Chains A and B, each alone.
Chain A
Amino acid sequence: MTSATATRSPAPVHPGAGRRAPLRDLLRSVPLLPAVVLLVVFLLGPILYAIWGSLTNRALTGYRAAKPEFVGFDNYISLFTDPNFWTALVLTVVFVLFSAIIGQNVLGLGVAALMRIGSKSVNSVVGALVVVAWVMPEIVAAFALYAYFSKDGTLNALLEGVGIPAVSWLIEYPMFAVILANVWRGTAFSMLVYGAALNEVPPEVMEAAQIDGANATQRFFLITIPMIRRSISTNLMLTTLQTLGTFGLIWVMTKGGPGVSSSTLPVRAYQEAFQYSQIGYGTAIAAVTLVLGAIFAIFYIRILKPEVD
């Protein structure tokens, strides 16, 4: 490894530099220092604090806010025996599965694939619309979709236009509404990733398959999909992790309600901590979400490993 480094080494290599390698590495890493400080204080700090805080009975205000007690795994025990937590966990899985893994990825790949055969003008207009939904601020998107799904909103107006009676989507089917909302909001990301991936597929391979008699469906599923599988796995991870933390969209549209029927884990953590003043309990929910995210993150890093080394 030392020799490999030396050939790329920009600094003049002194004789015996190999022996002082650890010191040299350290000196060269000095510019990393501000980044390390920021990351340790504001990223690692809250993570460690989440683990510690979830073991206390800290409250938002009052006596327990100033002098929280160490309560061991009490928060986790009440968490795991709380049916609302399990509801939140299931809702989070449903939300991630249907809006990110299925919705955004399938629609994103579909749109990207259609754009390869669609006309240029249609592609650019449709692409721009999908991207605007993604680029606009979360809170604006959330209000627009709240209006779309509300009782007197556009969706019901359209349905009544074809004779289907109006439905209170946000009250009767809140998960359905927030899942579709998140597909609307996030598809652009997958579309851009898959658009770039499809561009990398060499046309020769497609032509060869075509000559061998493969039809369009066969070419797509037997050649295109396997050739972009790395992009697919990367994108699945990224969309999953982004969706796991979705808060603003759900908060504006349903506030996690009615009741807890659309409270995913981040919404639940917020409610416990700031509405019921149970910081320790809310922190425990956050810790569980973090662990969930960390498991996905480790998968993702394993996929990207060759790019780091």
Chain B
Amino acid sequence: MTATEALVRPDVRRGPRISVASPAKRRSTWLANVVLIVIGIVFLVPIAWIAFSAVSPAATVSISVPESLTLDNFVAVFDWSMTLLPLWNSALISFGTALITVVVGVLAAYPLSRHNSRFQRGFMYSVLFGSCLPITAMMVPVYALFVQLKMLDSQVSVILFMAATSLPMAIWMLKNFMDSVPVSLEEAAWVDGASAMRALWTIVLPLMRPGISVVFIFVFTQAWGNFFVPFVLLFSSEKMPAAVAIFTFFGNHGAVAYGQLAAFATLYSVPILVLYLLVQRLSGSSFALAGGVKG
């Protein structure tokens, strides 16, 4: 079981097994609950700060339950050039990145999953190696290279670069998903005269649809949250995604409107929280594919 699988198949919800309910067991459950609740509160406080500040008329850096609720902060940041355009840019960049990554990744995963040649094993090792590299450490040479290629300040370059950096992980995940689609189904298609690409399109892809969605959302989420890459590669404010927009609006100013910052942060965070819930739903069913052989 790889870490990737573990990530797309989180199983934090599984409770304890049926207990014999001895007093000792009940005591340890109670103790575990107390410790978990304390940890939970520590994790909750910074999140709650954002939520409270967003609806508070007088937010500060310290958490406080707002005395009255207001949507003023959201109204104040609900502005085309301040939030909407950056959010649209984020959506555009993330969607482009995820789409390219998934299409290129599926094409690459197919031969890697179905054949086993020495060349491909070498490729797989390179992919694994690539997925390990600390990409952010590379932004300075990437910038210098993009100067040479005249690719700076272009959303397309950002998309291509982010697609390339997400590809190793995506190929690795897609190959694992594809490995679980039984080859016998394709063999039937080949017997009927389908080409490899046709078999991929009509047999394999429909069966691994949940897996593809998981990878798509995974890449989308990463691109949506990426700050450093657009921060270095883009200059024009009208091309900036929300990550950089938030930083330049609030990070560079001494006096920060914390309520507005929190409202913008909420608008920016909610989409990927929803997508994460979606991926949890999907990944639950993606391992049921093996049933396709039976019957």
Contacts and interface: CB of A to CB of B under 8 A. Distances in A.
Contacts of A279: 140, 143-144
Given A38-B104, A143-B246, A129 B168 contact: no
A107 B39 CA distance: 9
- Looking at chain B's contact residues, the main secondary structure is helix
A35 B171 contact: yes
Interface stretch (B26-34, B73-81, B205-213, B286-294): B26-34
Contact of B141 (A4, A21, A197, A286): A286
Given A4-B116, A10-B196, A245-B137, A129 B107 contact: no
A200 B1 contact: yes
Contact of A10 (B129, B144, B190, B269): B190
B125 A301 contact: yes
> Most chain-B CB neighbours within 10 Å: which of A196, A235, A237, A274?
A196
Interface residues of B, number: 113
Interface in A201-230: 203, 216
B23 interface: no
Contact of B140 (A146, A189, A200, A285): A285
A19 interface: no
Interface in A286-305: 286-287, 289-290, 292-294, 296-298, 300-301, 304
Interface of A: 1, 4-5, 8-12, 21, 25-26, 28-32, 34-36, 38-39, 41-43, 45-47, 49-50, 53-54, 58, 65, 107, 111-112, 114-120, 122-127, 129-133, 135-141, 143-148, 150, 152-154, 156-157, 184, 189, 191-193, 195-197, 199-200, 203, 216, 231, 234-235, 237-238, 241-242, 244-248, 252, 265-266, 269-270, 272-274, 279, 282-283, 285-287, 289-290, 292-294, 296-298, 300-301, 304, 307-309
30 contacts: A8-B116, A10-B186, A25-B117, A29-B117, A32-B108, A35-B105, A39-B168, A42-B142, A122-B36, A127-B10, A129-B43, A130-B39, A130-B40, A130-B43, A132-B47, A138-B226, A143-B246, A148-B49, A154-B63, A237-B132, A248-B227, A270-B139, A279-B140, A289-B134, A293-B133, A294-B129, A297-B129, A297-B133, A301-B125, A301-B132
